[in-house]
Amino acid sequence: MTIKCCIVDDEPLARSGIEGYLVKIPYLTHIGSFSSALDLLHELEELKPDLLFLDIQMPHLTGLDFVKSLKNPPKVIFTTAYDQYALEGFELDVVDYLMKPISFDRFLKATEKAKMLFQGSQDSFFVKTDKRMEKVRYEDILFLESMQNYVILQLKETRLITHTTLKSVVDSLPSSFVQIHKQYVINKNHVNALEGNQVIIKDSKLPVSRTYRDQALNAILDNR
């Protein structure tokens, strides 16, 4: 999963601080920074951000008024030095409310909350096969296997083949999916056992490569 993010803050140091945090979190992609809500408004339709890091107290148009003006606003994490706006901010159903100065730990908790919201709202996707588009639920996928320019989706009851690359699929998958090999991505919720350098899912034994071993095993064993 990749969440496209924009930063809106009239303070350059505040913008650069959030930009520095964004690059440390793999599921976040920084697509733009703006010194005012009006500047973003001109590009909102083209950029289509998923998540805004939005200052509240800004000249011309406050962050609160900006969100109220949008018919279908993106998800919002407010960033501000003033706590008196907290109640009004949460009444707008924002993801979180961060008080400046913002620590990385607090920032990460807010983005994890956002990620859970996106994953909860997207429990399926469409896969193009030879003759039609098939709707696939993430929870029904056991694992994905790369075969050159094709990807095999092994499901609980069947399998689908789509003309794409594993790399292009990985970023859109929720956190329950873990890459264990250059050819394999597994759904850790379906792991039955670990045996040497293999993961066992149903009747399949899949290799875990040295490159992905530590990261994969940590993710599988910490399956919560």
The pTM score is 0.57
Q: Where are the domains of the chain?
A: 3-121, 124-221
Q: Taking the domain 124-221, which CATH number applies?
A: 2.40.50.1020
Euclidean distance between CA atoms 61 and 6, whole angstroms:
17
Nearest 5°: CA angle at 15, between 11 and 19? Answer: 170
Pairing of strands 198-201, 204-207: antiparallel
How does pLDDT run along the chain (224 residues), one tens digit per residue? 689 999 999 999 999 999 999 999 989 999 999 999 999 999 998 999 999 999 999 989 999 999 999 988 999 999 998 777 666 766 788 899 999 999 999 999 999 999 888 876 667 878 888 878 888 989 999 999 999 889 999 999 999 999 988 887 887 788 789 999 999 999 999 999 999 999 999 999 999 999 999 989 988 887 54
In CATH terms, the superfamily for domain 3-121 is: Response regulator (3.40.50.2300)
